[in-house]
């Protein structure tokens, strides 16, 4: 199970709403370390891929302008209760994680 993604997937009628909360520093690369005065290197999720029913439902690309510990919500039709939703992220430093949840 993902260490850094929490997913809630709920279906109402034909529409599934997926909400996710990710744990990530989302550093823009523009912030200075208060103690050293050095710029903290950019470290942010730059891509999130959402899959369900064997298809990519949505791909989202981000800059460091998305908030720390980012939240994402999206919706799609054609899903069903019990289907799995998979969320995967990659960041600009080559890090990645993915997680799944069942639509309820």
The yes or no reply on residue 11 touching other proteins (CB under 8 A) is no
- Residue 32 tokens read as 């200075």
Instruction: Decide: residue 28, CB within 10 A, 0-12 exposed, 13-18 middle, 19+ buried.
Output: middle
What secondary structure letter does DSSP report for 11? E
The yes or no reply on residue 96 touching other proteins (CB under 8 A) is no
Q: Coil, strand or helix: which one is 33? A: coil
The yes or no reply on residue 19 touching other proteins (CB under 8 A) is yes
Residues 46-85 that bind other proteins (CB under 8 A): 46-47, 55-79
d(CA 6, CA 21): 5
Q: Site size for other proteins, by CB under 8 A?
A: 40
The yes or no reply on residue 104 touching other proteins (CB under 8 A) is no
The yes or no reply on residue 8 touching other proteins (CB under 8 A) is yes
Binding site for other proteins (CB under 8 A): 4, 6, 8, 15, 17, 19, 21, 23, 28, 30, 46-47, 55-79, 92-94
């Amino acid at each position: 199970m993902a260490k850094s993604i929490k997913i809630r997937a709920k279906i109402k009628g034909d529409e599934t709403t997926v909400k996710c909360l990710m744990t990530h520093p989302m550093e823009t690369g523009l912030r200075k370390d208060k103690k050293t005065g050095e710029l903290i290197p950019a470290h942010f999720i730059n891509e999130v891929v959402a899959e369900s029913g064997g298809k990519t439902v949505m791909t989202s690309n981000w800059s460091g302008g998305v908030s720390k510990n980012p939240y994402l919500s999206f919706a799609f039709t054609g899903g069903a209760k019990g289907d799995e939703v998979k969320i995967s992220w990659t960041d600009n430093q080559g890090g990645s994680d993915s997680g799944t949840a069942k639509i309820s």
